[in-house]
Structure 1
Amino acid sequence: MSKTSKAPKAEDVELEWYKTVYQGDTMPQLTLRALVMGSVLGGVMSLSNLYVGLKTGWALGVAITACILSFAIYKSLMGAFPKLFKTEMSILENNCMQSTASSAGYSTGGTMVSAISAYLIVTGHHIPWPVLAWWTFFLASLGVFMAIPMKRQMINVEQLRFPSGIAAAETLKSLHSKGKVASQKARALGLSGLVGAIITWCRDAGKPAFLNFPSNVGLFPGASKATLMGIPLIKWTLSFEMSTIMIAAGAIMGWKVCWSMLFGATVNYAILAPWMVHLGAISGDPAKMGYRAIVAWSTWGGAAIMVTSGMLQFVLQWRTIARAFSGLGELFGGGETKQRKDDPMERIEVPSTWFLTGTILSGMGCVAVLYHSFGTTIWMGVFSVIMTFFLSVVACRATGESDITPIGAMGKVTQLFFGAISPANLVTNLMTASVTAGAAGSSADLLTDLKSGYLLGANPRKQFLAQFVGIFAGTLVVVPAFYLLVPDAASLGTDKWPAPSAQVWAAVARLLGSGLHALHPTARIAILIGGALGIILPLLELAFPKAAKYLPSPMGLGLSMVIPFFNSLSMFIGAVIAIGYEKRNPVMAERFVIPVASGLIAGESLMGIVVALLSSAGVI
């Protein structure tokens, strides 16, 4: 289609939206109560995502949970204090609230569980907290500002779906429809959160003593006495975790990934690990055997699967990549979206001056921290920021088309590039890649939230400001929480905090720095086999789409090799429960699976942080 035929269509679509959907001038949107509620909920959810990310390497969406919680909390406040809370929050206020919450809960914590944790693993020491706070703030800000020129092209003109944004908009419409469904969802989320909190308190705090139970139990009666190669099964992580958080995560993640994880975990911990003990690649000393000893070997195969599959799936999206870069002219106001003074959208869209000013200032902040705190040369820092913009364009388009943000793949591209030009500098490798991954995730999160606003008729400029406010709340909460949960390098790579994303980032940095010769021969073979699987499986899915559901997920297989067996088992159980409920009652499953799972995750993770605080204070 030619540009001349596209230009009128783009203008007509925007004008039609402005006339028939836009309601940002007639309804409250960017209000103090929306920002406060979003900041509080986002700060709380950032703790939950940090907790889950250190366990699984995954980040869970915040927007829908925040919408339900905000609705329930404000309803309760109106009932308890009618003189103070006289009116309900409008749907656009709640949309601004979820933007602030999503920014705080999602955009600021991703780098903590990946690059920052990998830095701790590689160097053995923490980044000073003021440096980490500025780093987190600059990364999230860079991503938010870089997304400004993408919004009008990808959302207004091309109408990319951004499925999670659609889901959040539909959730808000449902909550504001005055029906029973909204209250039922809120009640389900609250009750499941209470259940998760109680389980965590009894398990981790041990009070009351008669309700205390262990964190792990045997897979079958008498399993506590069973051994494998003379070593107790629990040492191989072959046990069941007394926790609901991973079960809930499995219910959200879906069937294919979770059955692939159980399959991969069984092969890794019940077959490969004993074999490696026999070959001497893993210590057979019962005193040293455990998750850390096994994953020191299995990380290489798992990382290879995830890296090659992620990169291949990225390359297979070449049409998306081509569209992303062919549209760069339109992103900056050329072609069919050229800004005009008489365009009514100019009054409500985020100005290009904000993009230029914000990107330059936040980019300079990133470069300054890289130079002063991590010893990265200025030119490398500047190049990493420039490279980040182009990769963020690709990541945002991938999110819009598939709802999957390839943060890991984007980070690996940067790692490979800087590994080639500065192979011995592991810190530079990690932190320049952190710029790409952190900013790309923040950009995609903003566009997902702006998609919700577009569907609801919100003012995008006001919603952008709400998103930016959330960065402050997330940074203030997630940075001290990271130091609390991870006091030192020894805390990572353990049963409690497997930190799979960090393990992969650290493994890639070390491999690029020292080469394959430093590894045990079996680990090199594992890299070759894992890398091959990461390429073969996606190609098989492409060649035989009807058989795709029977093929294991490469991401699931790779992840199963860097987290304990009991985590994969719990996630599989959650997926079984969710798919069984969906087949039995699809309407109720669609209504309650996400709220209940989100409540369990929030309740257990937040109580886990409370227990950690009380423990560090000597209260328990």
Structure 2
Amino acid sequence: MSSPRSGQPVLLTCGAQTTTLNSPETRAPSPSPPHLATAIDRERERERELNSRAMARSGKERRDQEEEEAAVESVERVFEGRVVPGWKEQVTLRALAVSALLGAMFSVIVMKLNLTTGIIPSLNVSAGLLGFFLLTSWTKLLDKAGVASVRPFTRQENTVVQTCVVACSGIAFSGGFGSYIFAMSDRISDQSGEARDEHNIKNPSLGWMIGFLFIVSFLGLFSVVPLRKIMIIDYKLIYPSGTATAHLINSFHTPQGAKLAKMQVKMLGKFFVMSFSWGFFQWFYTGGDGCGFMSFPTLGLEAYRNKFFFDFSATYVGVGMICPYLVNISVLLGGVMSWGIMWPLIEHKKGDWYPADLKPSSLRGIVGYRVFISISLILGDGLYNFLKVMTRTTTALVMQVRAMMSEPTLPVSGGGGQTPEETFDDKRRTELFLKDQIPNWLALSAYVVIAVVSIATVPRIFHQLRWYHVAVSYVVAPVLAFCNAYGCGLTDWSLATTYGKLAIFTVGAWADASDGGIIAGLAACGVMIGIVSTASDLTQDFKTGYMTLASPRSMFVSQVIGTAMGCVIAPSVFWLFYKAFHDIGIPGSEYPSPNALVYRNMAILGVQGLGSLPKHCLDLCIGFFVAAIAVNLARDLAAPKVARFLPLPMAMAIPFYLGPYFGIDMCIGSLIRFVWDRLDGARAKAFAPPVASGLICGDGIWTLPQSVLALAGVKPPICMKFLSRTTNIKVDAFIAKLPSS
């Protein structure tokens, strides 16, 4: 998928990776699921391209855009009279306290989404809004209490909170708790159909997970620090997500923006309470397997058996309100194609294509078709977009270097006024961005020291991974980190999980298949994702700090602190889920963790090859692999009016294994948003993202007390279950024969 912060933000911006009133020019960074974040990013990128073409055709729209850009360029005039605090005054104790609180809250939400479907919308705007609200309320309370020495709440401090929260909750995704780490467990291994091999199993443990994350999560931060000036000032990369976040924070700290933010927070809080209460109410009816509203056969029992039902999930209704319409339709289309057509046809081949006496979870049966065809779609889509982004990145980089070499000096600030960016704002921002430098020698020394420690310690955590596997990864990683950060600045796409999948296949094939090659591939995936994703995240933060006058040092320090928080909070949250829900990772359970099985089978393919696939599965996989590339190519070549109706293969792949039920939830969210846009478009743009965030956050946070109740042995008192009429007659007859109490 994509890095945690490459999904769409949720509140004021609705872009490739964020949400800004559905404006394609504004994007805010976010955590992204392995499958859907890339699809969302790609759809938003296409929207930006279509909008750019439309503006190019219309002179009036071009003038409007120029006026808008002129207004944006005057942002620093609004704040000109305000003193910019030093970097130490930006990283305050109250900012870190709020960051820890929000980071833990969003880690719970991301973890729940990780372990259910893997679709993770951006919660960045929620973090920015709630951080603004909490710190504003805190300063006002102290002021009313007569505390005269309260430091004013600034946009730089708001940026620190945003950065710290996203870095913390981002570890909940990039840490692999729903993918490569959980894929190592015996629970996922048993589902993969492979012969049990203790060398290829490593069960989760709080100690080694925290240690592993601390070892691998900081290298990416130090790898791109020396490139910050080149990326932000010399190359003037856009970083749409970082730019959108900056615009959002800047607007919060103007009188009009603060008023709107308070109204949005109020709306978010209202739907947070409603969603939390609905989750609490549903819990009472889940006193057994297959009980509760989640098992409500809304479309009939036969449709329910094929995963077609509405499960009353506030989370995915909210996700549907945020995601582009095409993403939601693509998810539903994938569900109809697989569970409505393909799987029933393949099940009729039982006994011919695959043995009829297999266990339901065996990959040599119907589950094998579901998993491997889904993987083929993901890999085909990922390969196409990897090549596309790398081609664009390489071409743009070569042109940029040639242009710079043809000039006498680098185009830093005030380069002759030849471009519209050389404004008062840019000069002011460049001056402060270059003021608080992070010594390059410090960054390089820290990278080398941490790499040496990691090379020595990671093989002790995963004995299947040799020291030279880790060493080669750390030699290659800075180059890949630069490519990912540069490409993210151009396209807003993070390819971190794509690089992780490449590590699975390369290291898995390199390692000894008989001595834990599967674990070696999965561990290498974690090492690579940890480096590459944090590199692009930090560069996005530098762009945000550049536009809010936040010091690069405060950005770097807050990113480091947020990452450290995440290395403790995220494993602890996963451990809570793991202990509270004993069927976690099991198909059909409340938390099936589908990505874990996908990653496990990628590692198996890397080590063992394709020989274990059921009959005709390889032919189908090749067909869908080619189809994913063809659909993406058609989307890029077709006219805009046609391309917007072509589905997204990455989004279609998700329900191939899970089923379409959550796609139905998301389409209902889309329908709500569509009707709201038609009835009151202006209000929908301003308040639909806060409403969606409230639904997601309330339902997600309910998981925390639900886990505590499960650990305490408190069980729901009622089981609401639905039976066919004939089955119910038998049940009633059986109950009638029981002795009365």
TM more than 0.5: yes
Contact kept? 1:104, 1:470, Cα under 8 Å = yes
In 1, Cα distance between the equivalents of 2:708 and 2:400?
49
1:252 aligns with 2:322: yes
1:94 aligned to 143, 150, 158, which one? 158
Residue aligning to 1:388? 477
Equivalent residue number for residue 506 of structure 1: 600
Change (3 A) 1:468 1:269: same
Root mean square deviation, CA, Å: 3.4
Q: Structure 1 residues 573, 397: CA separation in 2 closer, same or farther (over 3 Å shift)?
A: farther
Q: Distance in 2 between matches of 1:285 and 1:602?
A: 43
Change (3 A) 1:535 1:326: same
Instruction: State the distance in 1 between where 2:308 and 2:359 align.
Output: 17
- Three-state SS of the structure 1 residue aligned to 2:550 is coil
Counterpart CA distance in 2 for 1:438 and 1:53 is 17
| 1:116 has 2:176 as partner | no
- The structure-2 alpha-carbon separation of the partners of 1:577 and 1:239, relative to structure 1 and needing over 3 Å to count, comes to same
* Residue 319 (structure 1) aligned with residue 392 (structure 2): yes
Call closer, same or farther: CA 1:365–1:584 in 2, change over 3 Å: farther
The answer to whether 1:271 aligns with 2:370 is: no
Q: How does 1:428-507 map to 2 (within 5 A)?
A: 428-487=520-579, 491-495=584-588, 496-507=590-601
* 2:3 aligned partner: none
State the Cα distance separating 1:36 from its structure 2 match.
1.6
Secondary structure of 2:127's aligned partner: helix
Is residue 419 of structure 1 aligned with residue 508 of structure 2? Answer: yes
- Residue 187 of structure 1 is matched in structure 2 by 266
State TM-score, norm by structure 2.
Answer: 0.73
Query: Would the aligned equivalents of 2:361 and 2:367 in 1 still touch at CA under 8 Å?
Result: no
Specify the alignment match of 2:729 in structure 1.
Answer: none
Question: Does structure 2 conserve the Cα–Cα contact (< 8 Å) formed by 1:218 and 1:240?
Answer: yes
- CA gap 1:544/1:615 in 2 versus in 1, 3 angstroms: same
1:39 to partner: Cα distance? 2.0
Partner of 1:142: 219
Deviation at 1:205, TM superposition (A): 4.9
2:112 corresponds in structure 1 to 51
Q: Report the Cα offset of residue 472 of structure 1.
A: 2.0
Deviations 1:452-493 (CA, angstroms, capped at 9, x unpaired): 111111111112101111112212211021122234995215
SS of residue matched to 2:587: coil
- 8 Å CA contact 2:160–2:555 kept in 1: the answer is yes
Partners of 1:174 and 1:292 lie apart in 2 by 56
Change in CA separation of 1:108 and 1:481 when aligned onto 2, cut-off 3 Å:
closer
Give the number of equivalent residue pairs.
Answer: 589
Q: Do residues 518 (structure 1) and 612 (structure 2) align?
A: yes
Matched, 1:364 2:452: yes
Q: Distance in 1 between matches of 2:681 and 2:545?
A: 28
Counterpart residue type for residue 392 of structure 2: R
* Aligned 8 A contact 1:414 1:432 in 2: yes
Residues 116 and 184 of structure 1: CA distance in aligned 2, closer, same or farther (over 3 Å): same
Q: Which residue of 1 aligns with 2:167?
A: 103
Q: 1:566 to 1:78 in 2, by over 3 A?
A: same
Name the residue aligned to 2:145: 83
Whether the 8 Å CA contact 2:438–2:553 is kept in 1: the answer is yes
Asked whether 1:308 is paired with 2:372, we answer: no
Three-state SS of the structure 1 residue aligned to 2:180 is: helix
Equivalent residue for 2:91? 30
Q: Is the 8 A contact 1:236 1:291 kept in 2?
A: no
| Contact 2:111–2:172 (Cα < 8 Å) also in 1 | no
Matches of 1:354 and 1:250, distance apart in 2: 44
Alignment correspondent of 1:13 = none
Q: Is the 8 A contact 2:521 2:603 kept in 1?
A: yes
Alpha-carbon shift at residue 298 of structure 1 (Å): 0.7
Report the Cα distance in structure 2 between the residues aligned to 1:429 and 1:208, rounded to whole angstroms: 40
Comparing 604-613 with 398-407, greater Cα deviation is found at 398-407
Partner of 1:6: none
For 2:254, what is the secondary structure of its paired residue? coil
Look up the match of 2:295: 216
Post-superposition shift, 1:390? 1.8
**Which one is further off, 303-312 or 84-93?**
84-93
Secondary structure of residue in 2 paired with 1:466: helix
Q: Deviations over 1:42-90 (max 9, x none)?
A: 1221121111122232443343211111222234445555328755521
Classify the secondary structure of the residue corresponding to 2:90: coil
Bigger helix share: 1
TM-superposed deviation, 1:556: 0.9
Counterparts of 2:432 and 2:277, CA distance in 1: 53
- Matching residue of 2:27: none
Aligned to 1:156: 233
CA apart distance, 1:346: 4.9
Q: Which moved more, 1:48-57 or 1:584-593?
A: 584-593
Q: Tell me the equivalent position of 1:230.
A: none
Q: Cα–Cα, structure 1 residues 259 and 45, in superposed 2: closer, same or farther, change >3 Å? A: same
Q: Which residue of 1 aligns with 2:127?
A: 66
Say if 1:50 and 1:109, in contact at 8 Å, map to a contact too. Answer: yes
Q: Does 1:397 align with 2:459?
A: no
1:544 corresponds to which residue? 638
Pair 346,558 (structure 1): closer, same or farther in 2 beyond 3 Å: same
Give the gaps of 5 or more residues in structure 1.
1-15, 228-232
Residues 360 and 367 in structure 2, CA contact (< 8 A), matched pair in contact too: no
Contact 1:244 1:600 in 2 (8 A): yes
Q: Which residue is 2:280 aligned to?
A: 201
Matched to 2:179, the amino acid is S
Q: Determine if contact 2:365/2:614 at 8 Å carries over to the other structure.
A: no
Partner of 2:102: 41
Distance 1:433 1:99, change over 3 A: same
240 and 518 in structure 1: CA distance in 2 versus 1, 3 angstrom threshold: same
Task: Specify the SS of the correspondent of 1:519.
Answer: coil
**Contact (CA 8 Å) 2:95, 2:161: kept in 1 or not?**
yes
Distance across 1 between alignment mates of 2:661 and 2:152: 44
Structure 2's unaligned 5+ residue stretches are: 1-72, 190-199, 413-430, 716-741
Residues 1:563 and 2:633 are matched in the alignment: no
Q: For the residues of structure 1 that align with 2:287 and 2:205, how far apart are their CA atoms?
A: 38
C-alpha contact 1:59 1:106 (8 A) present in aligned 2: no
Question: Which deviates the most, 557-566 or 498-507?
Answer: 498-507
- When residues 348 and 96 of structure 1 are mapped into structure 2, their CA distance, relative to the original with a 3 A threshold, is same
CA change 1:460–1:612 in 2 (3 A) is same
Does the 8 A contact of 1:95 with 1:453 survive in 2?
A: yes
Normalised by the length of structure 1, the TM-score is 0.86
CA contact (8 A) 1:237 1:291 kept: no
Instruction: Give % identity.
Output: 22
Q: Which has the higher contact order (CA 8 A, sep 6+)?
A: 1
